Chain A
Amino acid sequence: MLKLGVPSKGRLQADTFEWFAQRGVTLKRTESDREYTGSVEGVDNVQLVLLSAGEIPKELAKGRIHLGVTGTDLIQEKLPDHVGQVIPLEEMGFGFADLIIAVPKVWVDVNCLDDLDAAAAQFRKDHGFRLRIATKYHNLVRAGLRDFGVADYQLVDSQGATEGTVKNLTAEAIADITSSGATLEANHLKILSDGVLLKSQATVFASKSADYRAAPLAEFCTKMGWEVPQL
């Protein structure tokens, strides 16, 4: 069986089902909506595995599923060695999300990462601690800021309601996934002009470490119009 991991709920699942249906593969949740099992029609020997989108990267890395649908952001954040662990097969054209850095709109002097770096140096001098950026995407944000050469900041963990941290004085800036600017606007924040650290969308990935001996990868790839990956 070829195990295909798909998000277990929500918009991402609906879009994924729709996307596969358009390609002649019907994904269904079986019997009860509460039970996370499903069926696959239109192709043989493929098993649907419903998982939280956030768990799909690790399941791919461990080889417990062969293919998985998740966002590029989650793959890159959760799998530092993603190049060695998964292969992207196709971008699906939905689930768009950008990882952005945003600062208060009243920071009229800060419009780009260069400004953020200079403001961070000044902030540390004035306040005696490093400028706080709230995020849950620690690896991606750290790597992005290091590549640009931003210093004198610190990341503070925020697993939800990140946009509110500045108003609550627990952070000076935020780094978060945004699909629309509305939440930022409502929280008096603006995106830095070069502050898009990653553009993400739902993507089908193949695991590099899964056991494919009894899994019909080539057939499924041909059916979907994907080049068979060299694993």
Chain B
Amino acid sequence: MQNDRRAAIRAEAARLEAAFADAGALRIEADALLPAEVLLDLYGEDIRSRAYVTHDPVLGERMLRPDFTLPIVEQHMTEGEEPARYTYNGPVWRMQDAGSSRATEFVQVGFELFDRADPAGSDAEVFALFRDLMPDGLEVHSGDVGLLRAAVDGLKTSARRRAALTRHLWRPERFRRLLARFSGAGAQPLGRAEMLAKVEALGAQTMIDTAGKFIGLRSVSEIEARIEGLRADSTEAPLSAEEVAAINALLSLKDNCAAALGALNDLAETLVQIRPALVGFQRRLDALDARGIDLAKLPFEGSYGLTSMEYYDGFVFSFAHQGTVIASGGRYDALTTVLGNGRHIPAVGGVIRPDLLLAQKEAM
């Protein structure tokens, strides 16, 4: 019985992989054991609660791949030509929360497109490809993290504040707290006012000298530099109410894509900085329309895709049934920039869970 099920999932995965190959993708293989250090640097310590870690006495910590992003991007950077389309098919492993009934081992079939000539066309190509492989009646989600990135990037405030907001873009709760604080509404960090008062009275150098024995790798100049930054920040004017309201409106926007375009154009009156990203958004809609996708029926959510450890930064989409995500994808240019040591590698792609797709088709 279990073997029959596995064989059926394998056949479904092969069918999807063949469909991706028909769409021009090169089949590639990837290691299952990945160097933990690279994944940790990329995703942060939180990856440990999602990926299984194992230890090799010589190679050090290894992780069972939680997805194919890292090995695919690395292969593309060393061997790939552009534009490139790849497909892969294999198991991934995910640690799940305590008490969860979600699978810890499952197959992913994916399609990734690396192309710098026409991002809007690439986004539409990937979305249309996935839609054609999905049964009717699924919940469709889409969003564009690039709009929020652009909005934050162009806020009329210090580079320091913009960097702090961008850094926490994928942690929505923390982002909102920072936004509230920078707009003068939220509480200041504990002890900040007292610390700054002491700096004014004594000077940073004296404070450090009298605080105790100097220990640790973080140097005096690093501490002083941060204090200087905090002093400057304390005199920074709050974000304007209009800008904050517009950011919040962008985050809570929920409509179909055709209507969302109108709402976004209105928001761009205040957030002029999103205009270039909005041009990209419009181009994507045009490209989707050209592929026969009804924009009046495609949902759009301003905060969709803002989940940690995914780091999509442009177009995002998913197909789900009653909250269970069967396929998802998006653009992840920033992630590839980190992996490429500054080299810019525009990338968009997605994955399908053949087990869930099969179960869904059987249920219908």
Interface residues of A (CB under 8 A from B): 80-84, 104-109, 111-112, 114-115, 118-119, 121-123, 126-127, 130, 138-139, 142-143, 145-146, 148-149, 151-155, 166-167, 169, 172, 187-188, 193-194
Contact = CB atoms under 8 A, between A and B. Distances in A.
B216 A166 contact: yes
Given A84-B99, A154-B45, A169-B217, A112 B211 contact: no
A84 B97 CA distance: 12
B223 A108 contact: yes
Nearest to A173: B216
B38 to A, nearest CB: 13
- Overall SS of chain A's interface: mixed
A109 B230 contact: yes
Given A81-B98, A142-B45, A153-B45, A112 B212 contact: no
Given A149-B174, A172-B217, A114 B222 contact: no
Query: Do most interface residues of chain B lie in helix, strand or loop, or is the interface mixed?
Result: helix
Interface string B148-165: 000000000000000010
B98 A84 contact: yes
Interface in B70-92: none
Interface stretch (B188-196, B260-268, B329-337): B188-196
Given A109-B226, A118-B164, A119-B226, 10 more contacts: A81-B99, A84-B99, A105-B211, A106-B214, A109-B227, A127-B217, A142-B48, A143-B49, A146-B46, A149-B171
Contacts of B214: 104, 106
Contacts of A169: 216-217
Contacts of B226: 109, 118-119, 122
B172 to A, nearest CB: 10
Contacts of B218: 104, 107, 119, 123, 172
Contact of A193 (B191, B211, B227): B191
A70 B213 CA distance: 36
A111 B190 contact: yes
12 contacts: A84-B99, A115-B189, A119-B218, A122-B225, A122-B226, A126-B222, A143-B49, A148-B174, A151-B44, A151-B167, A172-B216, A188-B213
B207 interface: yes
Nearest to B95: A80
Contact of B44 (A138, A152, A166): A152
Nearest to A170: B217
B17 to A, nearest CB: 35
Nearest to B225: A122
Interface in B159-217: 164, 167-168, 171, 173-174, 177, 189-192, 195, 198, 204, 207-208, 211-217
A72 to B, nearest CB: 16
Contacts of A146: 46, 49
Contacts of B97: 80
Interface residues of B, number: 41
A105 B215 CA distance: 9
Nearest to B230: A109
Interface of B: 40-41, 44-46, 48-49, 97-99, 164, 167-168, 171, 173-174, 177, 189-192, 195, 198, 204, 207-208, 211-218, 220, 222-223, 225-227, 230
Nearest to A79: B98
B99 A83 contact: yes
A123 B192 contact: no
A167 B46 CA distance: 26
Contacts of A81: 98-99
B160 to A, nearest CB: 9
A108 B216 contact: no
A187 B213 CA distance: 9
B64 to A, nearest CB: 18
A106 B167 contact: no
Given A142-B49, A146-B46, A188-B215, A109 B223 contact: yes
Given A112-B190, A142-B45, A106 B216 contact: yes
Sort A-B residue pairs by CB-CB distance and give the 3 closest, nearest first: A149-B174, A81-B98, A111-B191
Candidate in A109, A152, A169 with the most chain B CB atoms within 10 angstroms: A109
A81 B46 CA distance: 18
Nearest to A189: B215
B227 A114 contact: no
Contacts of B190: 111-112, 114, 193-194
Nearest to A155: B45
A68 B39 CA distance: 39
Nearest to B174: A149
A160 to B, nearest CB: 19
Contacts of A187: 215
Contact of A188 (B45, B48, B173, B212): B212
Nearest to B212: A105
